[in-house]
Amino acid sequence: MNHTSSESANEHEQQLTTFTVAGLFFGIDVREVQEVLRYQEMTLVPQSGSVIAGLINLRGEIVTAIDMRRRLGLKDREDGVLPLNVVVRSDDGAISLLVDEIGDVIGVGRDSFEQPPDSIDKEQRDLLDGVYKLDGRLLLALSTAKVLDLSPTSS
């Protein structure tokens, strides 16, 4: 996958791997991302709830896949549209986030960082660290820890 940085590569404080889910533009700290992959066959985990999409065999490691559409409370993907994998590392092993499209690795500066505006749904806002105001669009910075916390007391 392409890992090109954007224009001014030097002064940026953070590098984010970006992807799209239901038209929304998200980013995760590149240091937490193990790899990105095209669609992988999954084994369903019956009765695991709607957020867990299934299990993937990643070079011999069993990776749990979370459907980001469900996790963010967004509409389901259309039939036949296959998601892509953003595999993140956690102390629980590798977890794959199922997204619609993969974007570039973007460098962002601290000065463009803001708190998420109220126009964003609560369900998504709770999973964000903040947003970056880029020219023309909003980059929603996801907190990996919050995304992976599926306990009932969290969002």
Partner 1 sequence: MEEQDELTKEFLIESNENLTQLDQDFVELEQRPDDKDLLSSVFRTTHTIKGTCGFLGFSTLEAIAHGAENILSQLREGERILTPALTTLLLEAFDVIREILAVIETTERESSQQYIDLRERLKAACDSNEETVSSSTGAPGDESAAELSESDGGVETPEVSAPLPVESSAVDKEQARPAAPAAKSSLAESNIRVRVDLLDNLMNLVGELVLARNQILQFSESQQDTNVTAASQRLNLITTELQANVMKTRMQPIRLVWNNFPRVVRDLGRSVGKNIELQMEGAETELDKTIIEAIKDPLTHLVRNSCDHGIESTAVRTGAGKSGKGVVLLRAYHEGGQVNIEISDDGGGIDPAKLKSKALSKGLVRTEELERMGEREILNLIFMAGFSTAEKITNVSGRGVGMDVVRTNIEKIGGSVDVQSQLGQGTTIKIKIPLTLAIIPALIVRCGTERFAIPQVSLLELVRIGVGRGQQIESISGAPVYRLRGKLLPLVYLGEILALKNDEDQSQEPSVNIVVLQTDDKTFGLVVDSVSDTAEIVVKPLSKLLKGLSWYAGATIMGDGYVALILDVMGVALRGQIMGIGHSHAHVAHDESVSEISDRQAVLIFRSGSDKRLAVPLSVVDRLEEFPVERIESSGGRKVVQYRDRILPLLALNEVLDSGAVDATDSEKVQVVVFSEGERQVGAIVDEVLDIVEDSVGVRSPSSRRGIVGSAVIDGGVTDFVDLRYLISQVDEGWIADGGRVTRVMVAEGSRFSRGVLRNYLEMAGCEVLEAADSAGVLKILRLHRVDVLLASLDLPGMDVYELMRQIRTDLGLYEMRMIALSSESKDGSSPAAEDDPFDDYQDELDRESMLQSVTQLTRAIESRQAAQVEVLTT
Stretch that binds partner 1, among 6-14, 18-26, 57-65, 119-127 (CB under 8 A): 57-65
β-strand partners of 43: 55
142 binds partner 1 (CB under 8 A): no
1 binds partner 1 (CB under 8 A): no
Q: Which of 1, 45, 82, 145 binds partner 1 (CB under 8 A)?
A: 45
3-state SS assignment for residue 80: coil
Rounded to an integer, what distance in angstroms lies between the CA atom of residue 118 and that of residue 102? 26
Rounded to an integer, what distance in angstroms lies between the CA atom of residue 129 and that of residue 94? 21
φ, ψ for residue 146, nearest 5 deg: -70, -35
Judge whether 67 and 133 are in contact, CB under 8 Å: no
Residue 5-34 contact track with partner 1, rule CB under 8 A, x = bound:
------------------------------
Task: Number of residues interacting with partner 1: please give it, by CB under 8 A.
Answer: 20
Q: Which of 9, 82, 145, 150 binds partner 1 (CB under 8 A)?
A: 150
Rounded to an integer, what distance in angstroms lies between the CA atom of residue 126 and that of residue 116? 9
Residues that bind partner 1 (CB under 8 A): 42-48, 52, 55-57, 60, 62, 64, 66, 92-93, 95, 148, 150
